[in-house]
Structure 1
Amino acid sequence: MLNGFTSWPKNMADLYRKEGCWKGETFGSMLRERAKKYGSRMALTGGDRNLTYAELDTQVDRLAAGFQKLGIKKMDRVVIQLPNIVEFFEVCFALFRIGALPVYALPSHRSNEIDYFCEFTEAAAYIIPDMHGGFDYRTLARGAQKKNATLLNVIVAGDSEEFICLKSLYREPADLVETNVQPSDVAFLQLSGGSTGLSKLIPRTHDDYIYSLRLSADICGINQDSIYLAVLPIAHNFPMSSPGTLGTLYGGGLVVLSPGPSPDEAFPLIEKYGVTITALVPPLALRWLEAVSTRNYDLSSLQVLQVGGAKFSAEAARRVGPVFQCVLQQVFGMAEGLVNYTRLDDPQEIVVNTQGRPMSELDEIRVVDEEDREVALGEVGTLLTRGPYTICGYYNAPAHNEKAFTKDGFYRTGDLVSLNSSGYLTVEGRDKDQINRGGEKIAAEEVENHLLASSSVHDAAIVAMPDDYLGERSCAFVIPRGETPKARELKQFLKERGLAAYKIPDRVEFMEAFPKTPLGKVSKKALRQLISDKLRASRKAIHK
C-alpha cells in the first residue's frame, strides 16, 4: 500500500464491495477486456494517429515493458504533463499496467508547480512534450532535474534533446513482466483545486475510480456508438471521467482528441467524426454559443453538451438546447470524488436551474452551517460528502486532513450549495479562500505568498471579482512598500517566479491599509465588495 494513503474504513469498504460498487477491476484488466470485446473498433483518434482497442492494448504492453526496462516499478510516481495527444493514454495505461502512479500535471503548469510535484511525490520520472503552445517543456525538465535527486528519467514525446525519447521505449509485448496490481491499490494522484498553498494530491484507487466511470457512462448514455470529443485538457478530472475519455473507453466508444477548445478547432471535428457528446466549462460554452451562427459546420450529430467546472448561469443554460439542438447536461463534481449530474431526461427547469444530483445511491451528502448542523431544505450551507468514490484523505497530508474531513469521514468540499426536495443541488459559491476562474481553481494564499516575496510589496490579499465571461477573475489588493510599483511590474515578477499564467492576478489594486474583521483579520468579504462596487460603478459610467 502507498505510504501516505488513507484507505476507507473496513466496514465501509466491505459495504461497497457487497453492494457491487467495487467489482475488483484494475485499469490494466479493464483495457485488456475492452480489447478482447471491441478489438477492431476505433478507440482513439488525435492529430495523425488512430488506434483501435486492440492496437491500444498492444501499444500499452510495449510501453509498459519499456518503462520496466528503464527501472520504473510498482508505486513509483511519474509526473505526466502531456497535452491532448494519443500518447497520453499509452503512457497512463502502461503505468497502470505495471502499478506505477501517474501524477497529473496540466500543460499550463510551470516551474513553481512542477518542481513541487516532483519533490513532494519523489517522482522517479517526468513525461512531457517537446513543445506545446509555443512553450518548450524541456526547460522545465532541466530545472526539475537539478532540484530533485529522485528524478532519474525525463521522457519526451517528440524531440528529446538530452533526454529520453518516448518512441525509443516501446519494446516487444512479450518483454513485459507481469506485475501484481490490486484493485484496492492507488492508481494515480490527481491535483486538488486547493485553497491554501500549492495543490494537494488526491489518491484515487482502481476500485473507486472505475466505479465512477461505470456510473458516469450509464448516466450519460455512453455505449459503442458514442463519440466523445475532448477539448478541455485531458488531465483534468472532468474530461477524464465524467464520463470523459476514460468513461468513453469503458463503454466501448470513440475518443476524439482536439488540440484546443476553440470553435474553429472543435466544430470541424464534430462534423468529421459525428461527435455525440462533449464537455465544456461555462466560458467556453458562451464562446461556442456565439460562434454557431458565424460558422458553417454540421453539428447535428451532437446529442449531449455537458457544462461543468464552475456554475453555469440559468440564462446561458436556456440557450444551449435551441442553439445546438441537443440536451444540456450540467455536471458538478470534484477530483476528490463526488459527482452530480442532471439526468438526460430531467425537466428543463431542473437542467437550467440546478447542477444535478449525486450519481450513486451510496453517496452521502450533508448541507451544514458553520457548526456542522444540517440546514433546512432550500437553505444555503456548506456541502459535506462521503461515499464509494470520495477519498478519505489527501496524499501524505495528515495535518490538512484533520481540517478537510470530519471525524466520521465526511469530506468538507468548501462548496456553498442548497438542496431541494428531489435531491438536486444548486451551487451558490465557495466558503474556501479560492477563486474559480472559468474552471481553473486558484488558491489565494499561494499567489499572496509569491507577491509578498517582492521587495515592493508590504502586504497582499487576493480575492475573486465577478466576471460575466469567466464567472470569476482574480484581483490582487496590494499595500506597497515604499514607492508604488506598476501593476505590470508585479505581474511580470510573478511570471518570472514560474507561476502558471491563469494564477497571475487579472487586476491589481493598491491600498494604504486593508479593511479588518472585528478579530483584526483582513476582511476579504469587504475587499470583494469593494472591487464589485468599483466594477459596477465603472460599467454605469460607460453606459451613461
Structure 2
Amino acid sequence: MAANGFTPWPEETALAYRRAGYWQGRPLPELLHDWAAAHGPRTALAHGATRLTYFQLDRRVNRMAAGLRLRGVAPGKRVVVQLPNTPEFVVAVFALMRAGAIPVLAPLTHREPEITHVVAESEAVGYIGPAVYGGFDHTAMAARVAAGSTSLRRIFTLATPGEQAGGFSVLPGGCLAFPLHTVDEAPVPDRRPDASDVAFFLLSGGTTAQPRLIGRTHDDYAYQLRATAELLGLGPEDVYLAVLPAEFNLTLGSPGILGTLAAGGTVVLLDDPAPDTAFAAIARERVTVTSVLPGLAARWLDALDGAGAGLVPHQATFAPSRRPVHPLAAPAESPRTPSPSGTASGRHTESTHRTPLPDGQTLRAGTLDSLRVLQIGGGRLAPGLAARIEPGFGCRLQQVSGRAEGLLTVTRLDDPRDVVLTTQGRPVSPADEIRIDAPEGEAGELLVRGPYTPRGYYRSPEHNARAFTPDGFHRTGDLARLTPEGNLVVERRAEDLVIREE
C-alpha cells in the first residue's frame, strides 16, 4: 500500500535494483521475525537496567501491534513517533509497521509549530510521545495539536517509571489518550506490507523552513542497513551505543540501531550524551561502535583530556582492518542464554569478552578499550579535530556523510589515514550515482541518485520539481568535490541539521 503522495522509483530502475539483489522484497517487520529466530536469547536492547532479548523484543512488538489495531490505528494510516532513546522507541516503530501503519519519526526537540505541521502534512491519526520530557509537557502539546487537527484522534503517552496508570481519557474534541504501556493485547496475524511500500517517514533537516517528509521504503532501507553494516564489519559480538537521537538517520540505520539488530548485535540506548554518562555506558556494556556529531566528539575529547591519566583509552593501531565482514544473512552463532542478572552471556567474543562494569564503579584506565570504531557524521569534521580522534579514543575513525534523503558516503576501515582524516569517503553502494555540477576536480553542487535515495519529498510536487532533475537526481544543495581517487569532500552543507548535542 504505497502512501498517496510518495514518488516511486521508475519501474525499470526498481526492476534493475531487484535483479541486482539490492532490493530483496522483505518488509522490515518480517525481518525482525528472522532476527528473533536467529538470535532469540541474545540481548537485543539495553537501557539502564532494562534488557530485552530478541525473543522479548519480537513478542512486545507483536502485542503492541495488536493493541494499536484494537485502538483504532488502521493499516495505511500515519502515526507521529516522538520518543527518547528508550526501548519503547524501537518497539513502537516496529509495532506500527507490523500493524500496517506508517511511523512518522519526529525529533524530541520539535515543538507545537513543527508537530502541527507534520500532523497536517501526513494526516496523522495518532501521536506517540513521552508524557513529560526535559521539563516539557508533550502530552499537553499533543492535546493542543489534536484540538486543531481534523485527523489526530489517538494519543499514546510514555510515562516515567512509577507514574504509570491504566485506563484512558477523552480529551476535548473527542481525541482519546492512552498510556503507552497499556497498548498490549494478544497477538493477531501480521499484516504484511509490500516491500516497495513506505516503511516510515523521516523528516528533513534545516532551520529556515518547516520539515518535509521523506518516505523510506522497506526495500531501500533494508538495503541501506546491509550495505553500511557490511562496510563496518558489524557482527553478533558488536555493541552499538545509540547516543544521538534515535530518529536521526545516522543513529537509526547507518547501520545504527536497525543495522546492529540485523547483525545480531546489542543496541545500548542512551538519552544523555554527557561524557561521564556516555563513558560509563561504554565501559559497562563494552560498547564497540558508536556514532556522534563533530561537536559531541570534541566535547568527549575535552573530557578525556581533562581526566588525565585516570581515564585512558587503549592504545590504538592504525594498520588496515582485518576484521572479517559478517554477511547479515549468515547463520547465527550458537544462541547464548540469559544470565541470572538479566543480561546475556556470550555477547562478546575473543578480546571483547569481558565482564561489564557494575553501575556506579569509578572510571579508570581502559574504560574505552572496547571501542573499535567511532563514526562521525552530520557535519564537516575539521582536520584538526579529525586528527585527534584515533589517538584520543584509541579506535578507528569512520567519517560518514549523508542525510535522511539518501546517499551515504563513508571512509573504509582499511583506507589510508589521510583519506580518513580529510574526506567523507565513497558511496556505500556500487549503484550510487554522483554528479558534481562543476568542472572535474572542482567544487560544485552535489547531485545524487541510487537504490536508497528516494525520488521525491512526500506531497511536495512543486518543491520536487526544483529539488530533483528530470532524470531523478536529487539536488542536495551541498557544495562538494571528488578527489582523483573518487572520495567525496563536502565543503559546505546546504543546511544545518536540527540536532541538539547538549
Aligned with 1:170 (options 177, 184, 188): 184
1:341 corresponding residue in structure 2: 410
Whether the 8 Å CA contact 2:408–2:428 is kept in 1: the answer is: yes
Residue type of the alignment partner of 2:86: I
* Runs of 4+ more than 6 Å apart: none
The 5 Å alignment of 1:322-341 reads 322-341=391-410
Aligned with 1:306 (options 375, 378, 400): 375
Higher strand content, 1 or 2: 1
Does 2:77 align with 1:86? no
1:376 corresponding residue in structure 2: 440
Residue type of the alignment partner of 1:178: D
Q: Deviations over 1:88-107 (max 9, x none)?
A: 01100011112211101111
1:285 corresponding residue in structure 2: 297
User: CA–CA distance in 2 between the matches of 1:403 and 1:196?
Assistant: 17
Which one scores higher on RCO, CA 8 angstroms, separation ≥ 6? Answer: 2
Task: Provide the identity percentage.
Answer: 45
SS of equivalent residue, structure 1 residue 155: strand
Residue correspondences, number: 431
Aligned with 2:254 (options 222, 242, 247): 242
Aligned with 1:218 (options 230, 239, 245): 230
Q: What are structure 2's unaligned runs of at least 5 residues?
A: 170-176, 312-362
| Alpha-carbon offset, residue 139 of structure 1 | 1.8
Q: Deviations over 1:292-322 (max 9, x none)?
A: 1334331100000111100010111011111
Aligned with 1:408 (options 461, 471, 478): 471
Whether the 8 Å CA contact 1:187–1:205 is kept in 2: the answer is: yes
User: CA–CA distance in 2 between the matches of 1:235 and 1:2?
Assistant: 20
1:271 corresponding residue in structure 2: 283
Root-mean-square deviation (Å): 1.5
Whether the 8 Å CA contact 1:47–1:85 is kept in 2: the answer is: no
User: CA–CA distance in 2 between the matches of 1:69 and 1:105?
Assistant: 24
User: CA–CA distance in 2 between the matches of 1:286 and 1:77?
Assistant: 38
| Alpha-carbon offset, residue 149 of structure 1 | 2.3
| Alpha-carbon offset, residue 196 of structure 1 | 5.6
TM-score (norm 2): 0.84
Q: Deviations over 1:266-293 (max 9, x none)?
A: 0000000100000100100000111113
Aligned with 2:218 (options 178, 203, 206): 206
Aligned with 2:449 (options 381, 386, 390): 386
The 5 Å alignment of 1:138-537 reads 138-158=139-159, 159=164, 162=169, 163-173=177-187, 176-194=188-206, 197-295=209-307, 296=311, 297=363, 298-369=367-438, 375-377=439-441, 379-430=442-493, 432=494, 434=495, 436=496, 439-440=497-498
User: CA–CA distance in 2 between the matches of 1:294 and 1:272?
Assistant: 21
1:490 corresponding residue in structure 2: none
User: CA–CA distance in 1 between the matches of 2:201 and 2:15?
Assistant: 24
Higher helix content, 1 or 2: 1
Residue type of the alignment partner of 1:59: R
Residue type of the alignment partner of 2:154: N
Q: Deviations over 1:388-446 (max 9, x none)?
A: 0000000010000000000110000111001012211111114x4x3x2xx4279xxxx
Residue type of the alignment partner of 1:228: Y
1:493 corresponding residue in structure 2: none
| Alpha-carbon offset, residue 142 of structure 1 | 1.6
TM-score (norm 1): 0.77
Task: Please say which structure displays the higher CA radius of gyration.
Answer: 1
SS of equivalent residue, structure 1 residue 252: coil
Q: Deviations over 1:180-211 (max 9, x none)?
A: 31111100111011476201100000000000
User: CA–CA distance in 1 between the matches of 2:440 and 2:229?
Assistant: 32
User: CA–CA distance in 2 between the matches of 1:290 and 1:200?
Assistant: 36
